[in-house]
Structure 1
Amino acid sequence: MNWTSMHSQVLLLSAAQALLQSASVMVMTVGGLAGALIAPDPQLATAPIAAMFLGTAIATVPASMWMARVGRRTGFVTGALIGVVGGIIAAVGIAMRSLLLLSLGTMLVGAYSGFAQFYRFAAAEVADETFRPRAIAFVLAGGVVAAILGPALARLGGPLIDPVYTGSFLILGVITLIAAGLLVGLRVPNPVAAASTDRGRPLAQVVRQPTYLVALFGAATGMGVMIYAMTATPLAMVGHRHDLADAALVIQMHVLGMYLPSFFTGTLIARFGVLRIMFTGLILLTAHVLLTLSGTGFVSFASALIMLGVGWNFLYIGGTTLLTRAYTPAEHGGAQAVNDFIIILVGLFGSLSAGALLQALGWQTMNLLLLPWLAVTAGAVIWFWRAEAKLQAQT
């Protein structure tokens, strides 16, 4: 693939990522509010958001395995069309005051995300070895647009059609349809077709490699820590007498912290090496924990959440980049599916445990619990770093 084509494909995937993340942010913004209006029990208000994460978890492995057979373009377009249907069903659910239909719709939006989880791997597949870390980072940089566009579209659609929030999900369907149209233009080489004579190693052998395990552990740590702390932040801020506007601003700053560094993370990886960037991400996540100990004022929350976002970025992009070294083209379907499925499960655990631990322990103590996890991950990265250095010295 030539230089112009390679960069145009990465740009297309970045645009698709921006639309996908906008849809996800829209669900996070109004899903609970819409659920609260129609739920028979207030405790079920967040069911639409939980259903979205469930949809992602269910779809991730089948999506990866299917795309290994039919190709990225067919899979990504299909995933986006599922998201369109999800937006329509969610809007109908609100109109009919059916929490079940609303949750079914958001679950389908989550399934769309399950397909779209692999945009970053598609970027790695169209890029050459030199450009690969930056390609992965540029795709994730689409989240910068989503941090602004998602909440704005959710607010725009809220009062647009009665009942309230129906319009938000119809707009979600429209932007997802636009994403499907963009993805029709995607051209990603089919790794299986390119390596038809190579069936690859057994999946268990691929997963047992130190490279694979360290990459997975790093990315899963970044995702789990980030979702755990982010989920608890609005509740913690309101509990410490901040208003909802302050909480929303901190979350927006956090999301920008997650995605803005993507414009240079790939360059940093190319210059300093992936393990140094992953270790830096762990230092930044540790800084998040320490900043939570500085108090419960706005500045404390904001600075901690910015560190959380940047630390996630370095660790997640670094882990993804390292993972691409652990499998051959013929092995990519299973290797990527296992990786992302485990990461999503860790994220689910973080989101489900955050509220209970915040209630039981408080904001600062619940964050202190992250330090042993971060220390173990740092130990794994350092061990692998030294092992690679020793191997290079021998050769």
Structure 2
Amino acid sequence: MPGPLAGIRVLEMGQLIAGPFCGQLLADFGAEVVKIEPPKAGDAMRQWGRTDAEGRPLWWPVIARGKKSLTLDLRKPEAQGVVRELAAKTDILVENFRVGRMEEWGLGYDALKAINPALIMVRVTGFGQTGPYADRAGFASVCEAMGGLRYIAGYPDRPPVRAGISIGDTLAGQSGFQGALLALHHRQRTGEGQMVDASIFEAVLSVMESVVSEYDGGGHVRERSGSFLPGIAPSNAYPTGDGETVIIGANQDSLFRRLSQAMGRPELAEDERFANHRARGRNQSECDAVVAEWTAKHTAHEIVDLLAEAGVPAGLTYKAPDMLDDPHFQARQSITRVEDPQIGPIAMQNVFPKLSASPGGIERTGPELGEHTDAVLGGWLGYDDAKIADLRAAHVV
């Protein structure tokens, strides 16, 4: 079944994570995504991350899944001309070069809009297309810090930590994807394309909850608190009798009542220290200590099963093998295996979110460099073999 974006043509330009993750999401839901890469080295993501025993990268098959690879040396005027021809037939162009690079090549939004007024151009950068920091290089690590995430991540007696993944990049990619869908809806009503300005620092800022408002309205600066949120109790990581860690979230009054009953201590729900949300927040350390004393007497699986029956949110801290083995992940096909021509079947997260009438799908893993150059230039632009051969001889493709 074709995905909801079937028939939508996408040009993906740029490299690494933020822009390509936006392209991955578009491909997941059926768009024809053509990724433009430098002819010799290709996207740097072909080399990033861990490899299998044969030295083959394991991230590339995921972030480039469903895409076609077209090689073009964008420094050459001939290649820039090819992009203009492609843009005339494109619905969405995604790029994540530094601000001004596309304009240097004559491929800025105004230039391409003149060719194709219906074009949607998604521009993913560290700091956005405007403002005094627009020209700065902006990797996710820096933008996560400036967006406020790094300061509150970790423990108060230690320096800030990172999440362990490039969360700023993926948030920006999701923002670009969201903006593209909104722009498509606008175009459906008006016929007009537009530019989507998706910055990494603002993508991070957008998920910072009430951090800014807490300071502006009350002078409070949220600090690092480790595995819990101040004033939210019990909601923490607790030790178990078998040396594991279990996450319990019972910070609503009704949930704490159920937790107290499951612990065999129903009187805790009436204790003035824990009787309501604010009281538990004021006595957070005491509340967590009571819960931890109970969890330490049971195995992690015993706790999770008991609390599931009691209707209290609880879970284990999963690693990759736990996800692969979990029957719920399997029932929902949250992880799928896709055949890769080089690696063989490789597990990866499935398309998400799940749509009931027009679900997405993964057509292929990441392509070989330039695998679809001839097909795209011939199919999209009508180039014959001789013209493509000339471009290859001139090292344009």
Q: Fold-level match, TM-score > 0.5?
A: no
Please state which band the TM-score falls in when normalised by the shorter chain: under 0.3
Between structure 1 and structure 2, the one with the greater Rg is: 2
Q: Whose strand proportion is higher, 1 or 2? A: 2
Q: Whose helix proportion is higher, 1 or 2? A: 1
TM-score by length of 2: 0.21
TM-score by length of 1: 0.21
